[in-house]
């Protein structure tokens, strides 16, 4: 039998489900095998990646198809179903912020005519919930719904800087992500960068893959002062200095924050008319 790599080595048999493992856990493990690089999979591939016997996978996949979580292509492979996207779009943490932020994203896009991104944190990764892009904009690494690392992306650094200290220590204790095209930062440099992000409200990352770009990001706060999202722009490296982009990104993020009910402290250098 030929395995997915094209060789004649028999594919590994799926493991037996753990004793007493809930059916819902097994069904979710089948959905979790899909990724940016695995968007369409055969039954045997799904069973192998989920480490379950093919007959068990077949029964669960049939139910997932009937509900709409999966769809079966003409060639027999399976893809994520549209109904999952419909359910995910109802997430208040993503949809609510996106709905409020979208007009400001559009304004920033009109100014830059490149990529404008909006991301939220999900556990130890950033999830892109919106991206506006010009047709001729340079290629970027992440799509809407895609996941990005925290330590080596601008939106990730913003979200990490806004997280609690215990969570930051958990991330910093792990080995750096091997992010293509981004120079790995040692722990000490990451700590200094996070401190700078909290002080300036700006994170910046340069990368060379899939194209040479610079990303500038800023935090979005909710009414309680918690960082709930990160807004960024991605432009070709060398087209515009990051220090020129930063004020526009920061202003857009602050505007979204105000719409979410956040009231930023007035700088001591600013005197209001009521103060005389």
Going by pLDDT thresholds of 50, 70 and 90, the confidence category of residue 40 is very high
pLDDT tens digit string along 50-100? Answer: 999 999 999 999 999 999 999 999 999 999 998 988 887 777 666 678 889
What is the largest distance, in Å, between two alpha-carbon atoms of the chain?
84
- Which of the two residues, 255 and 6, has the higher pLDDT score? 255
> What's the confidence (pLDDT) of residue 194?
97
**pLDDT the model gives residue 173:** 93
Q: Is the pLDDT of residue 145 over 90?
A: no
Mapping DSSP onto H, E and C, the string for the chain reads CCCCCCCCCCCCCCCCCCCCCCHHHHHHHHHCCCECCECCECHHHHHHHHCCCHHHHHHHHHHHHHHCCEEECCCCCEEECHHHHHHHCCCHHHHHHHHHHHHHHHHHHHHHCCEEEEEEEECCEEEEEEEECCCCCCCCCCCCCCEEECCCCHHHHHHHHCCCHHHHHHHHCCCCCCCCCCCCCCHHHHHHHHHHHHHHCCEEEEECCCCCEEEEEEEEECCCCCEEEEEEEEEECCCCCHHHHHHHHHHHHHHHHHHCCCCCCCCCCCCCHHHC
- Structurally, at CATH architecture level, domain 92-259 sits in 2-Layer Sandwich (3.30)
Distance CA 146, CA 181 (A): 17
Mean pLDDT for 176-197 is 92
Residue spans of the domains in the chain: they are 23-87, 92-259
* Residues 98 and 129 sit within 8 Å (Cβ to Cβ): yes
pLDDT band at 136 (very low <50, low <70, confident <90, very high): confident
CB 130 within 8 A of CB 144: yes
Residue 18 has pLDDT above 80, yes or no: no
Q: Are 202 and 250 in contact (CB under 8 A)?
A: yes
Instruction: Match 């949809």 to its residue by tokens.
Output: 95
Sequence-distant (6+) residues with CB within 8 A of 9 are 3
Task: Please tell me the distance from the alpha carbon of residue 23 to that of residue 114, in angstroms, as a whole number.
Answer: 45
Give the model's pLDDT for residue 177: 83
Q: Which CATH class is domain 23-87?
A: mainly alpha
Structure tokens at 213: 């770009």
Tokens coding 217: 């990001």
Q: Which two tokens stand for residue 173?
A: 């204790």
Q: Answer yes or no: is pLDDT of 260 > 80.
A: yes
Backbone angles phi, psi at 106, to 5 degrees: -65, -40
């Amino acid at each position: 039998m030929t395995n997915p790599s094209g060789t004649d080595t028999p594919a590994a048999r799926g493991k037996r489900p753990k004793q007493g493992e809930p059916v819902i856990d097994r069904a979710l493990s089948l959905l979790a095998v899909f990724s940016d690089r695995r968007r369409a999979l055969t039954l045997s591939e799904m069973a192998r990646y989920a480490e379950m016997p093919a007959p068990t996978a077949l029964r669960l996949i049939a139910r997932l198809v009937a509900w709409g979580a999966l769809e079966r292509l003409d060639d027999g492979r399976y893809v994520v179903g549209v109904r999952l996207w419909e359910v995910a779009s109802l997430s208040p943490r993503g949809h609510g912020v996106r709905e409020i932020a979208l007009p400001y994203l559009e304004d920033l896009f009109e100014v830059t005519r490149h990529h404008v991104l909006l991301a939220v944190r999900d556990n130890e990764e950033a999830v892109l919930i919106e991206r506006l892009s010009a047709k001729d904009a340079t290629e970027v690494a992440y799509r809407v719904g895609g996941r990005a690392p925290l330590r080596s992306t601008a939106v990730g650094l913003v979200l990490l800087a806004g997280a609690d200290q215990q969570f930051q220590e958990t991330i910093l204790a792990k080995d750096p992500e091997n992010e293509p095209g981004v120079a790995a930062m040692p722990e000490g440099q990451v700590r200094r960068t996070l401190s700078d992000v909290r002080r300036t409200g700006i994170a910046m990352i340069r990368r060379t893959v899939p194209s040479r770009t610079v990303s500038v990001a800023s935090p979005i706060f909710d009414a309680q002062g918690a960082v709930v999202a990160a807004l960024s722009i991605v432009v070709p490296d060398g087209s515009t200095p990051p220090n020129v982009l930063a004020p526009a990104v920061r202003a857009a993020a602050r505007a979204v924050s105000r719409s979410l009910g956040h009231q930023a402290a007035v700088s001591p250098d600013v005197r209001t008319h009521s103060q005389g």
